[in-house]
Chain A
């Protein structure tokens, strides 16, 4: 893979960030393209952050939170899910392929799942190539 996409991961502190830690603790291995930003909850995620990431030159954005029913704050991930549905439409409107963003649930024990997810998503974004739509800065 010669082209190296730039991927931003927004991970909720309680499940998915811990899941990513678990991948490390278990010495699993995934492509190094992702840069992780810790947020308290996927519900904290303002769609603006995602749009900004693309504007600043990201090629893909991964959002990961607790499985439905397991949110540390009871319902933050449900809000994230609804917002994500709308965000999809918005991105399309902006000319960004919806395949460049993904919302997934990763629990604190799912290091393996996180590893697979990052590997799949990195390949997926790499296939799409650099994000052209709003960029210009990258």
Chain B
């Protein structure tokens, strides 16, 4: 016989301010099997929890209903409480009186009270039919997968590895380093970006517990917390990295050229290449599309028609260790992990929708990341900032901020957060490169929240003489070797016209290519802009709703380097917490089958998304299904597919749900 206790939380005035608590308690007491009902100021507080424990013991309760906030908020808290009072934690049910009643019906005391009573009745009906459940213990693979080798992923991988766990770091491009490696200086300290980043990159490359997979992509992930299995595609490099010494003779002599991705197209690279001088690993890959020998092989495969491309193979001839391997193929690597961190970073907004800025139409309209490469001492112009059109040093530079940020008309209503600061930085740097440079920045607002950020903007204005013009740009066009920029000075209330040598577009931040596909294989959510969504924006900023999968860096939204690093470390701390356990308690709310009723139709097997349903042959020869509880995630698809009613979902049984329906339609 169930002995149910009902506890109604006031939540201060959050519930009590709207719902008539004494009436709810009185009604609860009348419900069948309820032997005790009480109200608490805050049931989740120390006092409230003590009262709960005492009531369980005093009234010999074997089921508990708590009418309080959302179970998504405190179900775990109360499970622990009832467990500490010696009750099975799954003999607890919460009624959501706050989010689903008092907060949404604040002005309707009577209706909210009636609804609260209904919700309590449903919870009582459900818990009366609850069975004790026991969490299963599973092992933990003590190895982490970090996806993305930018600063967030690097920091995360290093922290995990330094804590003593193995890490596999997967990076899509041929080198780690990410966007930070492309930067010349960082704000607001003007530290050389490479100088602070490359030591970390080297540490990753040499770390005994980090296995670095560059030029590789995570294709599919299976399994669950502590027991993931990932398929990682290692793209063919055509260079045997075990033999290669990274001497560089091949990329110095390769005759084929392609636009450099690392230099954002303002520079060129060879077909066998490392993206930049400090790349880790410092060993090259061959880009099949631009390699002459590959083009020759392609020509041969296509039937040797038309003009014969040169049969180059210069790299092969010059390589002192014979590391070039034309036979290398793409390879799928499958590895097991206990935890996964997604740090896939960002790409910049495609500015071509803003025809008025002239990007793509006029060569001297460039993006801020391109300017960054032009300013970098290791960039294509060795740090000499020159105009793409004629190679002349620009003297008047116009920056346009919010290109693809804070603009609903292009589907980017959010602020990209870093642009205001890097524009200030770039204008200061241009002045340092050449004192004759005059910079103008068209802006909407200057957003400089951060340690020493506002001071840094003042430095741009006062020391570098950067002119800030509050207003948008309406047109850019070439005239007599200059780019004429029309804009509005909305503070002065008049149009402005500037004859610029160079126009720089502060393109906004958006998630990297492939973010959605990755999110889908990991079963984590993403927002309308494809940024990955954290489990809670305030309290669980680096976790996801999928246990064991964590986030770091700009994959979840615009942020600057210190924030990305902090998140990398935060995610690492979470991973270490998980990997430090030898076993994990898994959610016991999974499916189970009644073999007596099972007819072996296997419909459940067809609908199960997790391949968690196996078959077994009973002694009498009947084939029935069996749940692999390690794989089952408790979605219940099999239960609603089962015709003979053999399948059950623990914690959400048909009996329980129907009792709820009945209680609510009374």
> A and B: direct contact (Cβ < 8 Å)?
yes
Determine whether the beta carbon of B72 is less than 8 Å from that of A35: no
- Tell me which of A15, A20, A73 contacts B635 (CB under 8 A): A73
Determine whether the beta carbon of A27 is less than 8 Å from that of B103: yes
A56-B661, A57-B665, A109-B527 known; A29 and B106 CB under 8 Å? Answer: yes
A128 — which chain B residues lie within 8 A by C-beta?
Answer: none
Determine whether the beta carbon of B661 is less than 8 Å from that of A37: yes
User: With A and B bound together, what is the CA distance between A57 and B661 in angstroms?
Assistant: 10
With both beta carbons as reference points, the residue of chain B lying nearest to A58 in the complex is identified as B665
B661 — which chain A residues lie within 8 A by C-beta?
Answer: 8, 37, 49, 52-53, 56, 58
Determine whether the beta carbon of B636 is less than 8 Å from that of A39: yes
Is B372 an interface residue, CB under 8 A from the partner?
no
Is A74 an interface residue, CB under 8 A from the partner?
yes
Is A64 an interface residue, CB under 8 A from the partner?
no
Determine whether the beta carbon of A43 is less than 8 Å from that of B104: no
With both beta carbons as reference points, the residue of chain B lying nearest to A24 in the complex is identified as B99
- Tell me which of B73, B609, B652 contacts A44 (CB under 8 A): B652
A37 — which chain B residues lie within 8 A by C-beta?
Answer: 122, 657, 660-661, 664
User: With A and B bound together, what is the CA distance between A73 and B591 in angstroms?
Assistant: 14
Determine whether the beta carbon of A25 is less than 8 Å from that of B111: no
User: With A and B bound together, what is the CA distance between A52 and B659 in angstroms?
Assistant: 10
A56 — which chain B residues lie within 8 A by C-beta?
Answer: 661-662, 665-666
Determine whether the beta carbon of B665 is less than 8 Å from that of A41: no
Determine whether the beta carbon of A40 is less than 8 Å from that of B111: no
A51 to chain B, nearest CB (A): 10
Determine whether the beta carbon of B525 is less than 8 Å from that of A73: no
Of B112-120, B294-302, B373-381, the segment with at least 4 beta carbons within 8 Å of chain A is B112-120
Determine whether the beta carbon of A76 is less than 8 Å from that of B609: yes
Determine whether the beta carbon of A108 is less than 8 Å from that of B525: yes
User: With A and B bound together, what is the CA distance between A25 and B545 in angstroms?
Assistant: 19
A24-B104, A74-B523 known; A79 and B122 CB under 8 Å? Answer: no
With both beta carbons as reference points, the residue of chain A lying nearest to B99 in the complex is identified as A24
With both beta carbons as reference points, the residue of chain A lying nearest to B105 in the complex is identified as A32
Determine whether the beta carbon of B607 is less than 8 Å from that of A79: yes
Determine whether the beta carbon of A138 is less than 8 Å from that of B665: yes
- Tell me which of A32, A39, A74, A108 contacts B115 (CB under 8 A): A32
A38-B71, A39-B652, A76-B609 known; A24 and B103 CB under 8 Å? Answer: yes
Determine whether the beta carbon of A43 is less than 8 Å from that of B640: yes
Determine whether the beta carbon of A28 is less than 8 Å from that of B104: yes
User: With A and B bound together, what is the CA distance between A39 and B71 in angstroms?
Assistant: 12
Is B237 an interface residue, CB under 8 A from the partner?
no
A21-B99, A52-B661 known; A41 and B635 CB under 8 Å? Answer: yes
Determine whether the beta carbon of B72 is less than 8 Å from that of A21: yes
Determine whether the beta carbon of A46 is less than 8 Å from that of B639: yes
B627 to chain A, nearest CB (A): 15
Determine whether the beta carbon of B119 is less than 8 Å from that of A27: no
- Tell me which of A8, A46, A48, A109 contacts B665 (CB under 8 A): A8
User: With A and B bound together, what is the CA distance between A29 and B523 in angstroms?
Assistant: 31
Is A126 an interface residue, CB under 8 A from the partner?
no
Which of B106, B634, B664 has its CB near the most chain A CB atoms (within 10 A)?
B664
Determine whether the beta carbon of A6 is less than 8 Å from that of B525: no
Determine whether the beta carbon of A52 is less than 8 Å from that of B636: no
CB under 8 Å from chain B, chain A span 61-118: 66, 69-70, 72-76, 79, 83, 107-109, 115
B71 — which chain A residues lie within 8 A by C-beta?
Answer: 38
Determine whether the beta carbon of B104 is less than 8 Å from that of A45: no
A47 — which chain B residues lie within 8 A by C-beta?
Answer: 640
User: With A and B bound together, what is the CA distance between A63 and B545 in angstroms?
Assistant: 21
A93 to chain B, nearest CB (A): 19
A44 to chain B, nearest CB (A): 3
User: With A and B bound together, what is the CA distance between A61 and B636 in angstroms?
Assistant: 20
A79 — which chain B residues lie within 8 A by C-beta?
Answer: 607, 637, 640-641
Is B98 an interface residue, CB under 8 A from the partner?
yes
Determine whether the beta carbon of A75 is less than 8 Å from that of B665: no
Determine whether the beta carbon of A40 is less than 8 Å from that of B634: yes
B96 — which chain A residues lie within 8 A by C-beta?
Answer: 21, 36
User: With A and B bound together, what is the CA distance between A1 and B634 in angstroms?
Assistant: 40
Is A125 an interface residue, CB under 8 A from the partner?
no
B527 to chain A, nearest CB (A): 7
A108 to chain B, nearest CB (A): 7
Determine whether the beta carbon of B664 is less than 8 Å from that of A30: no
Annotate B648-666 by CB proximity to A: 1 below 8 A, 0 otherwise: 0100101001101110111
Is B520 an interface residue, CB under 8 A from the partner?
yes
Determine whether the beta carbon of A107 is less than 8 Å from that of B525: yes
With both beta carbons as reference points, the residue of chain B lying nearest to A32 in the complex is identified as B111
Is B100 an interface residue, CB under 8 A from the partner?
yes
Determine whether the beta carbon of B104 is less than 8 Å from that of A49: no
Is B107 an interface residue, CB under 8 A from the partner?
yes
Determine whether the beta carbon of A27 is less than 8 Å from that of B665: no
Is B238 an interface residue, CB under 8 A from the partner?
no
- Tell me which of B107, B609, B649, B666 contacts A75 (CB under 8 A): B609
With both beta carbons as reference points, the residue of chain A lying nearest to B649 in the complex is identified as A44
User: With A and B bound together, what is the CA distance between A79 and B639 in angstroms?
Assistant: 12
Determine whether the beta carbon of A41 is less than 8 Å from that of B637: yes
Determine whether the beta carbon of A35 is less than 8 Å from that of B649: no
A58-B665, A73-B633 known; A17 and B103 CB under 8 Å? Answer: no
Determine whether the beta carbon of A25 is less than 8 Å from that of B103: yes
A-B contact pairs, 22 of them (CB 8 A): A6-B664, A13-B72, A21-B100, A24-B100, A32-B105, A35-B664, A40-B634, A43-B635, A46-B654, A48-B658, A56-B665, A57-B665, A66-B525, A70-B525, A70-B526, A73-B609, A73-B635, A73-B637, A75-B637, A76-B637, A109-B527, A109-B533
Q: Which residues of A contact B (CB under 8 A)?
A: 6, 8, 13-15, 17-18, 20-21, 23-25, 27-30, 32, 35-41, 43-49, 52-53, 56-58, 66, 69-70, 72-76, 79, 83, 107-109, 115, 138
Other A-B contacts than A40-B636, A74-B609, A108-B533, 10 sampled, CB-CB below 8 A, are A21-B100, A23-B99, A24-B104, A25-B99, A32-B111, A35-B119, A40-B649, A46-B639, A72-B635, A79-B640
The 8 closest A-B CB pairs, nearest first, are A44-B636, A24-B99, A73-B635, A56-B665, A24-B103, A32-B111, A35-B664, A43-B637
